[in-house]
Amino acid sequence: MKLEIDQQRLNSEIETLAAISDAEPPAVTRIVFTPTDLKARAWVISLCKEAGLAVCQDAFGNIFARWNGSDSAAPAVGTGSHIDAIPNAGKYDGVVGVLGGLEAIRALHRSGFRPRHSIELLIFATEEPTRFGIGCLGSRLLSGTLSAEAAAKLKDRDGETVDEVRRKAGFNGNLQDVKLPKGYYRGFVELHIEQGPLLERARISLGIVKSIAAPASLRISIEGAGGHAGGVLMPDRKDALCAAAELILAIEDAARSSGALDTVATVGVCDVFPGAVNSIPSRVRITLDIRDTDLTRRDGAMQTIEAASQKIEAKRQVSIQSEVLNADAPADCAPEVRAALSDSCREHGFPFLEMVSRAYHDSLFLSRIAPTGMLFIPCRNGYSHRPDEYATPEDIARGALVLAEALAKLAGSSQ
Ligand code: GLV
Ligand code: MN
Ligand code: MN
C-alpha cells in the first residue's frame, strides 16, 4: 500500500474553511449552529460526498461520513474532530482532525486499499463550550455521558435551550437516539494540534497521547448590592465585582499552589451587571475552567476554591452560588490504538513523543465507549485558541499519513 497525502489540497481546504468565519482573518470565529457554522458544515459535507462517503447527521448535528467496509455490519473504525471555533480562534483546532481525517481516507482510497471494517469520519457538534457553557456536547450525547433530557435543557447566553437552537438549525429528530449503540466503534483516533509547546520544544513532529486530563467547569454567580458610585460610602458597599476579583485571585492561587504544574484554572468570562461607569456592580457572573491530569488533585483544588468563596461571602456580605456544569474524569488511551499509531510511526522512521493531553477533546468521551487514541502534531509556540495558531503543512500532512496507516491497521484489509 503506497499512501500519499495531498498536502497542497489539504492546506488549501484548511484555508477555505478558515474563510467561513465571523471574525476578521486571520482570526476564526465559528459558533455552533450560527449561519456561519451551518455554512461550514454544508461545505465539509460536500467534500465528504465528493470523496464518495455516505453522509448522515444525527438529531444533534453530529455528522457521520462513512466508507463502507467489506464487512459493513461489523463495528466501524472512527476518526474525526470538530469544526466549531471559539471567538477569535485560529484555523487548526479541530479542523486538522476533520480535514486531515478526510484526506487520510481519500489517501487510503487512492492507494487501492479496501477496508474490511467500515472507516467513518465523525464531525462532532459543539466541541467548544462557547454557546452552551459545556464542551463536547455532541460526544457526551454519543457516549451517553450526558442524558438527552439534561442536554436539551441547557441554555445559551440568550436563554435559548439546546433543543430550540438545534431545531432552528434543522435538527428535529429525537435526542435520545443520538447515543451510539454498544460496540459501534472498534477503535477511534483523533488527529489534533497539541495546543501546547512540548512537541516543538522537543523538535519532534508527532505525539501519541497516553491520557487526557480531567476538565471541570462551573458557572459562578456573585450577588452584592448596587447603588450610586458617588453616594454609597465605601464601608457600606457590597460590591459584587470586588468580591469576584478576590475570588478570581483565590482561583489562581488554588491552581498555583496545588503542588503540580498540571493543575490549571482559568476564569475566561466575567459579566458585570448593570455595567455602568457610575453604578456599583450588583451582580457578576464568572466562569471557572479547571483541569488536572489527576482527578483527586483537581477535586482538591475545587474544594480549596469553595472554601475561599465561603470566606469571601462572609467578609464582603455577598452571596456566591456555584453551579458545576461538568466535572469529568480523565481517560487513558487504548493500548491497541496507541500501538497502531506507534507502529505506523516506526514503519516510517518518524520519532514520536508519548504525552498527556492537557486540553480536552471529544476523544475523552468516545473513550468511555470505544478503544480511543489521539495523535498530536506541533503548533507554533504552543499557541492555540488565538488567531496566530499555526501548524506547518508538512506536520499536518505527516499527521494525516500516520493517521491513515493507523486507520488501515485498525480496519484491516478486505483483500
Ligand atoms: C478544548 O477546546 C479545550 O478547551 O480543551
Ligand atoms: Mn478548542
Ligand atoms: Mn479542539
Concatenate the DSSP letters of all residues of 176-245 into one string.
GGGSPPTT-EEEEEEEEE-SSSHHHHHT-S-EEEEEEPEEEEEEEEEE-B-EETTTS-GGG-B-HHHHHH
List, in sequence order, every residue forming a beta bridge with 193; answer none if it has no partner: 377
Q: Which residues, 6 or more positions from 226, have their beta carbon under 8 angstroms from its beta carbon?
A: 274, 279, 280, 281, 282, 283
What are the tens digits of pLDDT across the range 325-362?
A: 999 999 999 999 999 999 999 999 999 999 999 999 99
Angle value at C-alpha 128, between 125 and 131, nearest 5 degrees: 90
Q: Starting from the CA of residue 97, give the closest ligand.
A: 3
Q: Starting from the CA of residue 360, give the closest ligand.
A: 1
Q: Whose alpha carbon is nearest atom 2 of ligand 1? A: 128
Q: Structure pTM?
A: 0.93
What are the tens digits of pLDDT across the range 135-148?
A: 999 999 999 999 99
What are the tens digits of pLDDT across the range 37-46?
A: 999 999 999 9
What are the tens digits of pLDDT across the range 174-233?
A: 999 999 999 999 999 999 999 999 999 999 999 999 999 999 999 999 999 999 999 999
State the Cα–Cα distance between residues 361 and 82, nearest whole angstrom: 9
- Å from CA of 73 to ligand 3 middle: 30
Q: Which of 379, 384, 395, 330 is nearest to 357 (CA)?
A: 330
Query: Buried b vs exposed e over 301-335: b needs ≥16 C-beta within 10 Å?
Result: bbebbeebbeebbeebebebebeebbebebbebbe
Task: Tell me the percentage of the chain whose pLDDT exceeds 90.
Answer: 99
State the Cα–Cα distance between residues 238 and 223, nearest whole angstrom: 9
- Å from CA of 262 to ligand 1 middle: 15
- Å from CA of 40 to ligand 2 middle: 16
Average pLDDT, the chain: 97
State the Cα–Cα distance between residues 178 and 198, nearest whole angstrom: 36
State the Cα–Cα distance between residues 97 and 80, nearest whole angstrom: 5
pLDDT of residue 113: 98
| Ion ligand 2 contact residues with beta carbon within 5 A | 93
- Cα-Cα-Cα-Cα dihedral sign, residues 151, 271, 90, 334: negative
Mutate to test the pocket of ligand 1, among 195, 287, 374 (most ligand atoms within 8 A of CB): 195
Give ligand 1 pocket residues (Cβ under 6 A): 128, 135, 359-360
- Å from CA of 192 to ligand 3 middle: 7
Q: Which residues, 6 or more positions from 219, have their beta carbon under 8 angstroms from its beta carbon?
A: 133, 285, 286, 287, 322, 323, 325
What are the tens digits of pLDDT across the range 392-411?
A: 999 999 999 999 999 999 99
State the Cα–Cα distance between residues 26 and 245, nearest whole angstrom: 32
Q: Whose alpha carbon is nearest atom 5 of ligand 1? A: 359
State the Cα–Cα distance between residues 157 and 155, nearest whole angstrom: 7
Residue 128 CA: nearest ligand 1 atom is 2
Mutate to test the pocket of ligand 1, among 32, 128, 298, 364 (most ligand atoms within 8 A of CB): 128
Check whether 415 has a pLDDT greater than 80. Answer: no
pLDDT of residue 1: 83
pLDDT of residue 47: 98
- Side chain identity at residue 244, one-letter code: A
What are the tens digits of pLDDT across the range 359-369?
A: 999 999 999 99
- Side chain identity at residue 398, one-letter code: R
Residue 291 CA: nearest ligand 1 atom is 5
Task: Tell me the percentage of the chain whose pLDDT exceeds 70.
Answer: 100
